Chains A and B, each alone.
Chain A
């Protein structure tokens, strides 16, 4: 795509040229001084110098309009942040991780500049992964007819990541107003770009994409960069289609202050890039074309020195983060669910299947809140509604803008939920995170990133999403349709995880999840979708608070602590035990893994003095380890026997029904373990 000429050394007005010189000089002064903070043990232990990217970073910031646009800078975007309006003091506050750092209050790594209140987003260090979050914001722009563009910035090496493909594939398919900027300095830390991809200009890898324009510019040159970004923005605004801007830059210094580029770049190469110092070039041109005198430039330079001096002083005096604050902003407050404070009802009516409970609750919530959306694979095509038809009829009732398919790209599915949430906190998103929980792994980096968002942004942003995952086995599904992944997901602070085993709890927990801020992983025991034993009557307004276990069977002699598919196996084993031995077994369905109803678990164990932890996941490494440890730590004195666990063997789940049965827990194993425990 041809770059239009909006600016040139001869024709751009003097005031603009001066402002650019001020920003360029200010940025460079901060960039050059950043390592001093580390040398003086004041912080900024991670600093990725931007010198050599001056033109494009100035341009990104200049075209960004904080009232309309959203910006996703990456960790080298110091000048971008300044040019977008952040102050020198804010940059230093981030650098030395102060409590008043607008990016994260000192929580996120230094050199990750952000100002969420201006929609300059706080992003992860997982380089380039915000490209698909940017697509998510673009989707929100479309849905809400918002005028503006989303700018996503990253280094050229991070384009090697598969999720960048997903982002650009998604943005071009959905026709989203996103400018993807690749700042190409030739290296990914020490790896030269020839080891990243075959094209030296990685943007050209996308040349076959429909609905995509590619602009190449000289990222070292202020005018070419300004013209390229303005051309891109104008095009995106008029066409509504995405653009890639590839800016050729140089990296004058090492990747960061933990890198020594002299170990892999020879003198000639380093001198070569130094020769093309963008700031030096701009300064020479201002003089050569007689736009400024030496004295005028020196006056700006002196002004900048004073700005940095004052910023330095103010930042040093700023407060450090309070260690007691570490528990702030792990999770936002959940929907109160006050109608049924214990998440229990006495409704007597027609029993509904678990799948119908989910379907009807989704529909009810979509009627209740017009700012709800759902997408996923197989979500909506004719009569199909989700891989198991859980969402059947949703698109018909709520339309394609709110209910739609996603490409087979789990990372993109989660990332766009994260991104769309950034547009407005009123938005609530439900996603089928994957066809099966087993396929959620490609989305893990977005999941982890999303669990960090609330904490990392110091409470300024949280994605509001319910991630539905059809989970578990007992369907003859083999290795990739049987996995239980809740134990792995539970290792991440910043998410809730619920796992109902009955229709009413499924409805109540789904309602609470959708109405809550933050992330809830909603595990669906797919073997129970149509199971008569999981069917229950459900009040229309049922809601279940998070962190409330439910006693599904009262008992005195032993507590079975369980969730999901194994709740039903436990109930059957308990019945059998009582019939055969007279033992009184309590079955406690925890329903909610994060947060955990410790109180209910401990109360049950203290009552029965024996605990059998049962879940479908592997015993080794499963969430039951946490339950057993917690019981042992907090109720040891009440126990008459060691805590025992029943779950899957430490193997994958075999496809042949004989193998599956050998792996997954069953009534007999639970029965035997309980019997032994009773006899201890």
Chain B
């Protein structure tokens, strides 16, 4: 696998656990852990594969650390980069904006030339609207700690197996 990083906020708790689980599932593959709060465009572009962790905040927003990096991402040339995104959402309390953050990042990075991989089926989730929805799939991996915590582990395992095939 090409040079890969998992980018997430080191101040988070749930996202950090998922990030660690993902790295563990990748086994011996060398994956860097990068703090999203301090990332620079140069560092971002130094990886071929980026696995991004972005929970949805409030009613469908990016976390502030990702949002603050958006102006930089808007100017990046992401051609040749492969991006996979996971994120926490609450399908019961926020069904109208379920895992929007995944969709916001996917749309932005794809518009800059990145390839989005790690898309997952909608089955198993109940929600009304999501910016992450693309047809019958999500543009990444939704995780719901509030309502489906026991599914986190199998979902991450399956996703990593998928990524192993999809990440160059």
Q: For residue A10, which residues in chain B have a CB less than 8 angstroms away from its CB?
A: 71, 75
Q: Does B123 contact A (CB under 8 A)?
A: no
Whose C-beta in chain A lies nearest to the C-beta of B94? A200
A201 at the interface (CB under 8 A from B): yes
Q: CB-CB < 8 A to A201: which residues of B?
A: 59, 96
Within 8 Å CB of B96, what residues of A?
A: 199-201
Residue pair A281, B59 in contact (C-beta under 8 Å): no
Q: Please, which residue of chain B has its CB at the minimum distance from the CB of A218? A: B61
Q: Are B68 and A248 in contact (CB under 8 A)?
A: no
Within 8 A of A (CB), among B42-93: 57-59, 61, 64, 67-68, 71-72, 75, 93
Residue of B whose beta carbon sits closest to that of A282 = B68
**Is the CB–CB distance between A248 and B61 below 8 Å?**
yes
Digitize A49-80: 1 where CB-to-B-CB distance is under 8 Å, 0 elsewhere.
00000000000000000000000000000000
- Cα separation A276 to B75 with both chains bound (whole Å): 24
Cβ of B97 < 8 Å from any Cβ of A?
yes
Contacts of A276 in B (CB 8 A): 57-58, 64
A209 shortest CB reach to chain B, Å: 19
Closest residue on chain A to residue B40 by CB atoms: A288
Residue of A nearest to B61 (CB): A218
Q: Which of B71, B72, B94 has the most CB of A within 10 A?
A: B71
Q: A200-B96, A275-B64 are in contact. Are A248 and B59 (CB under 8 A)?
A: yes
**Which residues of A156-212 are within 8 A (CB) of B?**
184, 186, 194, 199-201
For the complex, give the distance between the alpha carbons of A10 and B76 in Å: 14
A289 at the interface (CB under 8 A from B): yes
Interface 1/0s, chain A 218-230, versus B by CB < 8 A?
Answer: 1001000000000
Smallest beta-carbon distance B17→chain A, Å: 16
Bound-complex Cα distance A239 to B93 (A): 37
**Docked complex Cα distance between A285 and B58 (Å):** 20
Provide the residues of chain B in CB contact with A289, threshold 8 Å: 71-72
Alpha-carbon separation in the docked complex, A248 to B58 (Å):
8
Q: How far is the CA of A325 from the CA of B153 in the complex (A)?
A: 72
A9 at the interface (CB under 8 A from B): yes
Alpha-carbon gap, A275 to B96, bound state (A): 23
Q: Does A602 reach chain B (CB closer than 8 Å)?
A: no
Interface string of A20-54 (1 = CB under 8 A from B): 00000000000000000000000000000000000
A8, CB-defined interface residue at 8 Å: yes
Contact at B58–A288, with CB atoms within 8 Å? Answer: no
Residue among B58, B75, B93 making CB contact with A250, cutoff 8 Å: B58
- In the complex, the answer to whether A200 meets B97 with C-beta atoms within 8 Å is yes
A4 lies within 8 A of chain B by Cβ? no
Q: Which residues of B contact A272 (CB under 8 A)?
A: 57
Residues of B within 8 A of A184 (CB): 59
Which residue of B59, B61, B94, B96 has the most chain A CB atoms within 10 A of its CB atom?
B59
Q: How far is the CB of B126 from chain A (nearest CB, A)?
A: 16
A552 at the A/B interface (Cβ < 8 Å)? Answer: no
Q: Which residues, 234 to 278 on A, are CB-close (under 8 Å) to B?
A: 248, 250, 272, 275-276
Q: Most chain-B Cβ atoms within 10 A of its Cβ — which of A9, A200, A221? A: A200
Contact check: which of B58, B64, B72, B93 meets A281 at CB < 8 Å? B64
Closest residue of chain B to A223 (Cβ to Cβ) is B71
A381 at the interface (CB under 8 A from B): no
Of the candidates A8, A218, A250, which one forms a contact with B71 in the assembled complex, judged by CB atoms under 8 Å apart?
A8
Indicate whether A284 reaches chain B with its CB closer than 8 angstroms.
yes
Per the bound structure, the CA–CA distance linking A648 and B18 in Å amounts to 75
Select the residue from B57, B64, B68, B75 with max chain A CB neighbours within 10 A. Answer: B64
For B68, give its contact among A186, A199, A284 (CB under 8 Å): A284
B93 contact set on A, CB distance < 8 A: 194
Docked CA distance A289–B41 (Å): 11
**A199-B59 Cα distance, complex, nearest whole Å:** 11
Say whether A200 contacts B59, CB under 8 Å: yes
User: What is the chain A residue whose CB lies nearest that of B58?
Assistant: A248
- Chain A residues positioned under 8 Å from B59 (CB to CB): 184, 200-201, 248
- Inter-chain CA distance A141–B68, complex, in Å, is 40
Residue pair B68, A285 in contact (C-beta under 8 Å): yes
Closest to A199 in B: B96
Chain A residues with CB under 8 A of B58: 186, 248, 250, 276
Question: A201 to B61, alpha carbons, bound, how many Å?
Answer: 13
Q: What residues of B have a CB within 8 angstroms of the CB of A199 in the complex?
A: 96
Measured CB to CB, the nearest residue on chain A to B72 is A289
Inside 8 A of B57's CB, which chain A residues have their CB? 272, 276
The answer to whether A288 touches B97, judged by C-beta atoms less than 8 angstroms apart, is: no
Complex contacts, A186 vs chain B, CB 8 Å: 58
Q: Note all chain B residues with C-beta closer than 8 A to A275.
A: 64
Tell me the bound Cα distance from A275 to B71 in angstroms: 20
Q: Which residue of A lies closest to B71 (CB)?
A: A9
- Docked pose: A281 CA to B69 CA in angstroms: 11
| Bound CA span A221–B58, Å | 13
Q: How far is the CA of A550 from the CA of B152 in the complex (A)?
A: 85
Question: A281 vs B66: C-alpha distance in the bound complex, in angstroms?
Answer: 11
Contact B97 A221 (CB under 8 A): no
The CA-CA distance from A233 to B97 in the complex, in Å, is 27
Q: Which residues of B contact A194 (CB under 8 A)?
A: 93
Chain B residues closer than 8 Å to A221, beta-carbon distance: 67
Nearest CB in chain A: distance from B2 CB, A: 28
**Distance in angstroms between the alpha carbons of A284 and B72 in the assembled complex:** 14
Q: How far is the CB of A341 from chain B (nearest CB, A)?
A: 64
A612-652 near B? 1/0 per residue, CB < 8 Å? 00000000000000000000000000000000000000000
Q: How far is the CB of A578 from chain B (nearest CB, A)?
A: 77
A sample of 15 cross-chain residue pairs with beta-carbon separation below 8 angstroms, ordered by A number, consists of: A9-B71, A184-B59, A200-B59, A200-B97, A201-B59, A201-B96, A218-B61, A248-B59, A248-B61, A272-B57, A276-B57, A276-B64, A281-B67, A285-B68, A288-B68
Q: Give 20 new A-B contacts, CB below 8 A, not counting A200-B97, A272-B57.
A: A9-B71, A186-B58, A199-B96, A200-B59, A200-B96, A201-B96, A218-B67, A221-B67, A248-B58, A248-B59, A248-B61, A250-B58, A276-B57, A276-B64, A281-B64, A281-B67, A281-B68, A285-B71, A289-B71, A289-B72
- The 3 tightest CB contacts between A and B, nearest first, are A9-B71, A276-B64, A200-B59
